[in-house]
A and B are shown apart, each in its own frame.
Chain A
Amino acid sequence: MSTDTPEASADNAPSRAELAARVEELEEELADVSAEVGDDNKKMSIISTKGTLDMAYPPLILASTAAAFGYEVTVFHTFWGLDILHEERSKDLKLSSVGNPNMPVPNVVGAIPGMDRMTTKMMEKKIEDNETASIEELIETSLDMGVEFQACQMTIELMGYDEEKFYDGVTTGVGAATAIQDMAEADIQLLV
């Protein structure tokens, strides 16, 4: 590029010193912005609110996969989602045979006592036959990969959970503000 100064408009053109100052100013600004967005770690934030067997899978599958992609993942569990973090209950999550028109039984039959247990057994068998990972396996794998599981303090107390019964490594003592902060910083936010 030529360094010749163009002859026109010499009067109102900024001086070399002014330009240099402006460049310096912009460089500082850029450095600040880079520092802010600088950590190039991608982040994902999931809010997990459901504790049925079918609704426990999506957040765990996405969390572990995102971790494999190098995302920093937090999963904030609230309401029935807390059951997924409960070591015993997570192994005994149920499928609801009512409320889902795609179930093989009509709602009126699904509402008969014992039907949830039956449809859950059927699903568990399919999971086993298909060698789909268990909920426990997905949680352990996710924890190994650095996924942070958070248990909402308000719903722990509201629903009377014993924190000792959660998987080791689950973060407690967090609330909606923590979730909002994670979501604000995340590249992907999901409510399940």
Chain B
Amino acid sequence: MSSQFDITETLDVKGASCPMPVVKTKSAIDDLAEGEVLEVVATDSGSMSDIEGWADSTGGVELLDQVEDDDVFKHYVRKTE
């Protein structure tokens, strides 16, 4: 994947299932500074829809990209405020 952004932190939630990928993503984003990017690596296929929905309804975050790669789902979220 050619990313136009630098990843600040990676959160590994492989194996974890709903609701943990979203809940842990939120906690990890809280620890970042504005402009920084979190990479979330999950194996829960529900995380594609869940993290998209979460990012959509939550202020201060922007979903940059979501990639499915061999049963691993990667999400890139920027903290915007």
Question: Which A residues fall within an 8 A CB radius of B?
Answer: 61, 64-65, 67-70, 130-133, 138, 141, 144-145
Contacts and interface: CB of A to CB of B under 8 A. Distances in A.
A40 to B, nearest CB: 9
Nearest to A131: B15
Contact of B26 (A131, A132, A145): A145
Contact of A145 (B23, B57, B58): B23
Contacts of A65: 19, 22-23, 54
19 contacts: A61-B19, A65-B19, A65-B23, A68-B19, A68-B22, A68-B23, A68-B25, A68-B27, A68-B58, A69-B26, A69-B58, A70-B58, A70-B59, A133-B16, A133-B17, A138-B19, A141-B23, A144-B27, A145-B27
Contacts, number: 40
B72 interface: no
B20 interface: yes
Given A65-B22, A65-B23, A130-B17, 5 more contacts: A69-B54, A69-B58, A70-B59, A131-B15, A138-B19
Contacts of B59: 70
B18 interface: yes
B23 A64 contact: yes
Interface residues of B, number: 15
A131 B16 contact: yes
Contacts of B25: 68
Contacts of B26: 67-69, 145
B73 to A, nearest CB: 15
A141 B13 CA distance: 15
Contacts of A68: 19, 22-23, 25-27, 54, 58
Nearest to A66: B19
A141 B16 CA distance: 14
A64 B22 CA distance: 9
A61 B54 contact: no
